[in-house]
Amino acid sequence: MRLIRRFEETCVDLVKDNEIAAVVHESIGQEAVAAGVTAALGPQDYLTSTHRGHGHILGRGADPTRVMAELMGRTTGTNRGRGGSMHVGAPDLGILGANGIVGAGTPIAVGATWAARTAGGDAVCAAFFGDGAINQGVVHEAMNLAVIWEVPVVFCCENNLYAVTTPLSNMTGAPITERAGGVGMPVCSVDGMDPGAVHDAMSESIATGRRDGTPSFVEFRTYRYSGHHTAEAATGVEYRSETEMEAWRQRDPLVTWPERLAAHGILDAAGKEAIDGEVEALITESVTFARNSPWPEPTEVLDLAYASGTGADFPSHTWGGS
Ligand SMILES: Cc1ncc(C[n+]2csc(CCOP(=O)(O)OP(=O)(O)O)c2C)c(N)n1
């Protein structure tokens, strides 16, 4: 959680200084979901992410130096600087891509997990999306197919109460879990500010999915302290009250979780300081690595845009006759 928080705070500074040449969608406040979910996944499992995905990707174990280089557009980035903040992918880690299209990770999750299971594996996939995405048809199609094809995707809905500036209550008539339950899968709703609760719910969903092929839906009740993205303040739009924001800040997992660990004798002040120090060093290393990495050459702009079809493991195109 500490790494995700500091990574994103650093991104915000880099956007201000124009070293990241785009807006980024921070997940500051939502770290407990990313940490709890990804800690429950096994090495064989997959993950699909969203436009607010740095936490998911870092939690899954992507190298922060390479993710930072990606956000800064360098060739050493996870996607050689072509993807940026919203399109980080790392198939070797089971990360099937962050995605700028709301809800679009869910059919990818179903297809990839179906393929892996058909090939005899026992992979499960965590498919992240926000509360706004529950109104995307493709999410419901993906959930329905997962049920009837017995594909164990855990549909991970990060309910942070807003889609850009629209409150959930203005766009969704029934509780999110009821809508998901309508397709016939187990649903639950957990406190997304509590990494322990997130991890427990996720572990149970994963275990059931791995064993029985059952998909499930978990709503994580959470909050973003930041705006929708780094340019929100410039719009001057206000849609959340100070009282509401302050109430959620009081539940900051970066404060409450270390306190809880301390109360249980698991983490003392020195231990916390050591973790914070390690994170700071890693962040500094990441920014230095990215700054010192080369930019892609303009002549390479179309490289990687199309599959060549010449790889030994690439099936030949026999359909269509040529
Ligand atoms: C298909 C599609 N429609 C609209 C958008 C524009 N858009 C980007 S983020 C967003 C809100 C998403 O809200 P939610 O799913 O709750 O995720 P959150 O931003 O809260 O994490 C919208 C409407 C988009 N990227 N893709």
Residue (of 216, 162, 222, 224) closest to 195 by Cα position: 222
- pLDDT over threshold 90, residue 308: no
Angle at 303 between CA 297 and CA 307, to 5 degrees: 170
Does residue 311 or residue 81 have the better pLDDT? 81
Around ligand 1, the residues with Cβ closer than 6 Å are 51-52, 100-102, 129-133, 158, 160, 162-164, 228
How far is 184 from 150, CA to CA, in rounded Å?
A: 11
Write the DSSP assignment of 186-243 as a string of letters.
Answer: -EEEEETT-HHHHHHHHHHHHHHHHHH---EEEEEE---SS-SSTTHHHHT---S-HH
> 146-197: per-residue pLDDT in tens?
999 999 999 999 999 999 999 999 999 999 999 999 999 999 999 999 999 9
Minimum-distance ligand 1 atom for the alpha carbon of 104: 1
Judge contact between 87 and 99, C-beta under 8 A: yes
> 246-289: per-residue pLDDT in tens?
999 999 999 999 999 999 999 999 999 999 999 999 999 999 99
Question: To test the ligand 1 pocket, which listed residue (51, 102, 140, 162) has its Cβ within 8 A of the most ligand atoms?
Answer: 102
pLDDT bucket at 320, cuts 50 / 70 / 90 = very low
Does residue 304 or residue 232 have the better pLDDT? 232
Residue 89 tokens read as 């992918």
Q: What is the pLDDT of residue 309?
A: 57
Q: What is the pLDDT of residue 322?
A: 31
At 153 the three-state DSSP class reads: strand
Minimum-distance ligand 1 atom for the alpha carbon of 129: 15
* Strand pairing report for 125-130 and 166-167: unpaired
- Secondary structure in 3-state letters for 262-279: HHCCCCCHHHHHHHHHHH
CA of 114 to the centre of ligand 1 (A): 26
Q: What is the pLDDT of residue 285?
A: 98
In the DSSP assignment, the letter for residue 180 is H
CA of 225 to the centre of ligand 1 (A): 17
CA 290 to chain centre: 22
Judge contact between 131 and 160, C-beta under 8 A: yes
Q: What is the pLDDT of residue 42?
A: 97
Taking residue 91's Cβ as centre, other Cβ atoms within 10 Å add up to 10
Per the listing, tokens 């509780």 go with: 175
Minimum-distance ligand 1 atom for the alpha carbon of 25: 19
Judge contact between 59 and 53, C-beta under 8 A: no
Helix (H) or strand (E) holding 129: strand 125-130
* Helix, strand, coil percent content, the chain, rounded in steps of 5: 50, 10, 40
pLDDT bucket at 302, cuts 50 / 70 / 90 = confident
Q: What is the pLDDT of residue 301?
A: 81
- pLDDT over threshold 70, residue 314: no
CA atoms within 13 A on the CB side of 212: 12
Q: What is the pLDDT of residue 136?
A: 96
* Strand pairing report for 216-221 and 187-191: parallel
**Amino acid type, 25:** H
- pLDDT over threshold 70, residue 10: yes
Atom 13 in ligand 1: residue holding the nearest Cα? 163
Q: What is the pLDDT of residue 315?
A: 45
